[in-house]
Structure 1
Amino acid sequence: MINLSVTTILIVINCVVSYLALNNPTVMNRLILTPYWVERKNEYYRFITSGFIHANFMHLAFNMISLYFFGYIVESKLGGTLFILLYLLALVISDIPTYLKYKNNSNYASLGASGAVSAIIFASILFYPVNLIFVYFIPVPAFMFAILYLAYSYYMDKRSGDAVNHSAHFYGAVVGLVFVGALDYTLIPAMFTTIADAVLNFFR
């Protein structure tokens, strides 16, 4: 009997559902997050379903590669039940600001697992704050990546200059930190201690 991890199952579901949606506009339109119709038809299921479809295969690949590298780490720490709870909560919560902002805009739609994946990445950063994260093949300490990621996502959301839902990235990341921090508050002071030690060792 094959014992699949939750991370593997999520990757498979994302790939299958995204493939179906990309090849069938009816499926895409039925699953995508459209705040206007959520507000008027109470189609709240879209907060979940929109997280399992992607704009194109590059978008899908980027999110699934990120989930692959960070998902197994976080799942090993939280266990399958808490891991899937974090993932689904992040999908929903990360899109609430988007819903509130665009609920009267009939032309706006959002999709992708980025909010949930951001939560998983930031949960891993809380566990391992000085591990290296490779950004375009450049190694960056996890805590520095976290600061830059949050600042960039916040700035780009306020700028609103592209079609990327930076708000979901930002709030998904926050969900990951808050969720894991609430489960074990000792991780927060431990994170700062680990970072301080790493910085001091760097300058010695």
Structure 2
Amino acid sequence: MNHLELVTIIVIVANALVSIKGFNDFSFFERYKFNIGAIKRGEQVRMITSGFLHADLGHLIVNMFTLYFFASVVINYLSDTKFLIVYFVSLLAGNLLSLFIHKDEYHYSAVGASGAVTGVLYAAILLYPEMHIGFLFIPLPIPAYVFGILYLLYSIYGMKRRNDNIGHTAHFGGAIGGLLVTILFYPEVVIEHPLMVILLAIPIIILFILEKAGKL
């Protein structure tokens, strides 16, 4: 299923063009990145634009490769339009969660399509839980849901370290958005794959427990 549909190409190209502009124009990057203080001053456009900026080329490549791998699953099970809805709802959900968790951190900033991509990742896993992923450095393919869970657990590590400009918190908001929108569009998944719904929810629950305990 992992082939490039037109809608996926458009999203990847949009991310690449905006990110490259940001790499070469510091003022552009600063003007459109996610920043708590700026958003509280009324610059809500950053809630969308920050999702098309990336910290560096590696960050962009990882996000777009992940999107390429999972987008076709969502498009094939749902549609082009519903894929875009999953993408943008997840992007917004990621930034809304970041705004909530970091609301008192005036200088908190982040960039990346990670929230949107995580939403697509979670949607794809929920729709096609039998999927496996192969990596060059791992001899055997691993179940996609294992990758999804590990990805979010790594995000908790990134949130605690806070040594980059990547929106790790947005991964969780994106995952929540992706899960909810997928269930809305295809409610049968709750009956068909109840265990997968529970497994994918585990890292999200861990996040909120840690946040409630003040461990983030």
Work out the percentage of aligned pairs sharing the same amino acid: 36
Partner of 1:143: 145
Q: Which range is displaced more, 134-143 or 47-56?
A: 134-143
Within 5 A, what are the aligned runs for 1:56-75? 56-75=56-75
CA distance in 2, matches of 1:55, 1:168: 14
Q: Which range is displaced more, 169-178 or 16-25?
A: 169-178
CA distance in 2, matches of 1:54, 1:48: 13
Q: Which range is displaced more, 13-22 or 130-139?
A: 130-139
Amino acid at match of 1:54: H
Shift of 1:97: 2.2
Is 1:30 matched up with 2:31? yes
Q: Please, what TM-score do these two structures have when normalized by structure 2? A: 0.79
Deviation digits for residues 94-150 of structure 1 (CA, Å, limit 9, x no counterpart): 111221333443432110000000011111101111211235643211222333333
3-state SS of paired residue (2:73): helix
Q: Please, what TM-score do these two structures have when normalized by structure 1? A: 0.83
Contact 2:33 2:46 in 1 (8 A): yes
Partner of 1:189: 191
Alignment partner of 2:172 out of 148, 165, 170:
170
Instruction: Check 1:155–1:27 CA distance in 2 against 1; reply closer, same or farther (3 A cut).
Output: closer
Gaps of 5+ in 2: 198-216
Shift of 1:192: 4.2
Instruction: Check 1:16–1:141 CA distance in 2 against 1; reply closer, same or farther (3 A cut).
Output: same
Contact 2:19 2:54 in 1 (8 A): yes
Larger Rg: 1
Contact 1:129 1:194 in 2 (8 A): yes
Instruction: Check 1:85–1:55 CA distance in 2 against 1; reply closer, same or farther (3 A cut).
Output: same
Contact 1:75 1:83 in 2 (8 A): yes
Gaps of 5+ in 1: 196-204
Shift of 1:93: 1.0
CA distance in 2, matches of 1:194, 1:95: 25
CA distance in 1, matches of 2:46, 2:75: 25
Within 5 A, what are the aligned runs for 1:102-141? 102-134=102-134, 137-138=137-138, 139-141=141-143
Partner of 1:89: 89
Instruction: Check 1:154–1:178 CA distance in 2 against 1; reply closer, same or farther (3 A cut).
Output: farther
Q: Which range is displaced more, 17-26 or 163-172?
A: 163-172
Q: Which range is displaced more, 165-174 or 14-23?
A: 165-174
3-state SS of paired residue (2:133): strand
CA distance in 2, matches of 1:126, 1:50: 26
CA distance in 2, matches of 1:68, 1:193: 26
Instruction: Check 1:77–1:171 CA distance in 2 against 1; reply closer, same or farther (3 A cut).
Output: same
Partner of 1:13: 14
Q: Which range is displaced more, 91-100 or 6-15?
A: 91-100
Contact 2:89 2:178 in 1 (8 A): no
Amino acid at match of 1:153: S
Deviation digits for residues 146-170 of structure 1 (CA, Å, limit 9, x no counterpart): 333334434553x344334321112
Contact 1:6 1:75 in 2 (8 A): no
Contact 1:130 1:194 in 2 (8 A): no
CA distance in 1, matches of 2:45, 2:185: 27
3-state SS of paired residue (1:134): strand
Partner of 1:199: none
Amino acid at match of 1:67: L
Shift of 1:21: 1.1
Q: Which range is displaced more, 66-75 or 51-60?
A: 66-75
